[in-house]
């Protein structure tokens, strides 16, 4: 029972979610996950991801686990940063060019691609609505992404996000302009900030 206790302890520390790789890293044989499934102490969310039966499934955490190169971005990152009150219907994730996984097309995800030079720009860790760690872009990178061409983002969401950012106590305008130059949206960002600041 010692291994089951260890798994339950890990579940408590991880908001009721555990992965098979975490179990292996803790030197616990994986067949204890099967035992716990049989005992109804765990439910299988997806391949290699388990949770307590009473826990709400954290879709963002599961997507992050399955597609580890994905970074939550655009409207999804705005939502996590509190710059929009619109809950995303579809999650937006950015992947480096050349990353292909067929099963990703069946997920509730809008896929964005990034050149390698910009893929890690502004990469940070945030917390999903269910309290689990996820990878996403910081506020400044997210603002640059949503104003970048193709009209992929609703103008009302962009305007609301820019207004919220202008009021933020921890905003970093220097970083925003630096990112805007790298992402090639500096004129657009300057226009917004001239009006709002």
Question: Each residue of 158-175: pLDDT tens digit?
Answer: 888 899 998 989 899 999
Q: Where are the domains of the chain?
A: 2-56, 60-196
User: Which single residue is written with the structure tokens 């820019």?
Assistant: 162
What is the model's pTM? 0.83
Q: What is the mean pLDDT of residues 173-179?
A: 94
* pLDDT for the residue numbered 138: 96
What average pLDDT does the chain have?
A: 88
Please report which confidence band the pLDDT of residue 139 belongs to, taking 50, 70 and 90 as the band edges: very high
* pLDDT for the residue numbered 149: 64
Q: Is the model's pLDDT at 16 over the cut of 90?
A: no
Q: Is the model's pLDDT at 126 over the cut of 70?
A: yes
Q: What is the mean pLDDT of residues 100-124?
A: 89
Q: Is the separation of the CB atoms in 112 and 94 below 8 Å?
A: yes
2-56 fold = Arc Repressor Mutant, subunit A (1.10.10)
Question: Each residue of 55-103: pLDDT tens digit?
Answer: 787 889 889 888 889 999 999 999 999 998 888 889 999 999 988 777 7
Please report which confidence band the pLDDT of residue 1 belongs to, taking 50, 70 and 90 as the band edges: low
* pLDDT for the residue numbered 155: 81
Q: What is the mean pLDDT of residues 114-130?
A: 93
More confident of the two residues 70 and 194: 70
Quickly count: other Cβ atoms within 10 Å of residue 126's Cβ.
Answer: 16
Cα 28 to the center of its chain, rounded Å? 28
d(CA 21, CA 76): 27
Backbone angles phi, psi at 2, to 5 degrees: -60, -40
d(CA 148, CA 70): 19
């Amino acid at each position: 029972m010692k291994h089951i206790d260890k798994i339950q302890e890990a579940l408590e520390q991880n908001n009721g979610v555990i992965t098979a790789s975490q179990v292996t890293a803790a030197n616990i044989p994986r067949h204890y996950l099967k035992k716990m499934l049989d005992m109804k102490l765990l439910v299988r969310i997806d391949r290699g991801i388990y949770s307590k039966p009473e826990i709400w499934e954290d879709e963002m955490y599961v997507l992050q686990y399955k597609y580890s190169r994905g970074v939550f971005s655009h409207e999804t990152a705005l939502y996590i940063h509190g710059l929009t009150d619109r809950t995303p219907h579809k999650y937006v994730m950015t992947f480096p060019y050349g990353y292909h996984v067929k099963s990703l097309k069946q997920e509730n995800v809008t896929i964005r691609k990034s050149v390698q030079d910009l893929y890690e720009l502004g990469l940070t860790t945030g917390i999903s609505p269910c309290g689990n760690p996820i990878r996403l872009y910081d506020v400044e990178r997210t603002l640059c992404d949503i104003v970048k061409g193709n009209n992929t983002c609703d103008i009302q969401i962009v305007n609301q996000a820019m207004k919220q950012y202008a009021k933020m106590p921890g905003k970093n305008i220097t970083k925003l302009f630096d990112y805007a130059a790298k992402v090639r949206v500096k004129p657009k960002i300057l226009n917004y900030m001239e009006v709002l600041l």
